[in-house]
Chain A
Amino acid sequence: MIKVEHLSKQFGELTVLREVNAEIKKGEVISIIGPSGTGKSTFLRCLNLLEMPSGGRIFIDGTDILDKSADVPKLRQKMGMVFQSFNLFAHLTALENLTIGPVKLLGRSKEQAGKKAMELLKMVGLAEKAGSFPDELSGGQKQRVAIARCLAMEPEIILFDEPTSALDPTMVSEVLAVIRRLAKEGMTMAVVTHEMDFARDVSNRVFYMDEGIIYEEGPPQQIFENPQKEKTRVFINRVRSLTYHIRNQNYDLYAINGEIEHFCEKHVLPKTTRNKALLLVEELLAIFSAGQVTRQFEIDLTLSYSEKRDSLELVAESAGDYFNPFEENTLPDQLGTTIIKNLSENMEYQRVSDRNRFSMTVKKQ
């Protein structure tokens, strides 16, 4: 459905895109990853002509959109775009944000557009917020409205530019869930993202951008598990997260420590950060083992380092009954929880699909 040939883009002296060749087929979900400044956003913006390419050709369903005779507004309508910064109309309600485009640009009646808009808001889980203004919504909710607004224009493909980067870590999953659902329903999408787990399990193909080209492309298994080219390998190694599944109350703490230390070394994290990560994990595990109310002992730990934010995030999920040690009087003493609170930031507890989920950022200072 989209074919890009020899696409190039310069900003003055700076060559951002040298020679991009790519094809996106109907129903595909493409993740675009790569270091900062390698032109991922520029590439998306060229696709829907928010930036004018310096050279090359872009075909949409066989039509060259850079041809002078091309009906650009019409072609652009086929492509929705969702940005990092939501870009909702602040003076319009959520519902009106969704209806304005279809009424003004697609010639829909107010009723038609309103009905469709409500369906879409429901789809993203925000029907009850139809009358709310953007500043009454959380970041995650705003982004879901932005996605619904995009869908209201009935696009054939949606381009996402880091849709979760401006969100609090706790709101990332609700937005990713909506994108996952669209993927399941067969929507064609290209997503620039730093969420590697998401890229790994949602996309059909991954474009790794570097040096002004799509430096390596392939199925997620190849890009994440077995990248073929040097720069891809370096990048993947740097962002990859560590996951540890614990299925036994007699877990091997030192084996887990070893993995964490190795992970921290790989990301060249300071010794204090490493010690904090070790201690957070030890305390969490101790609390879980002490407070384990059901027979099953199942904990998944994920440690991920974001180079972009220079932050180390820890997520611990446990299966079983509701258990939140950070509520009063759940534990014999507060030592473990005090340590955790002091060594972490943005601690959140969530009960998600019958699991207890704790997420936190390891404090830097």
Chain B
Amino acid sequence: MSVSQIYESLTEIFQTVFDDDSLAATPELTAGDIDEWDSLSNLRLMLTVEKHFNIKFSAAEIGKLKNVGELAALIEAKL
């Protein structure tokens, strides 16, 4: 799977989790950019990402993520 395909999938996931079709997953996107992105919705987001890509995250990996670019890189490393 290419990086652009990962971002396409993440865009769909973000739109579903945050119920906002205008959202686009970009490397710079952070929790501070989306009002509804709190620690609980972040965990729901990560579970959805795990299921979609059929991968597993550790708590430490989730805790270190600073933006969507780091999330995409982590996904790419696990595929």
User: Do A and B form a real pair?
Assistant: no
Question: Which residues of A are interface residues toward B (Cβ below 8 A)?
Answer: none
On B, residues with C-beta under 8 Å from A are none
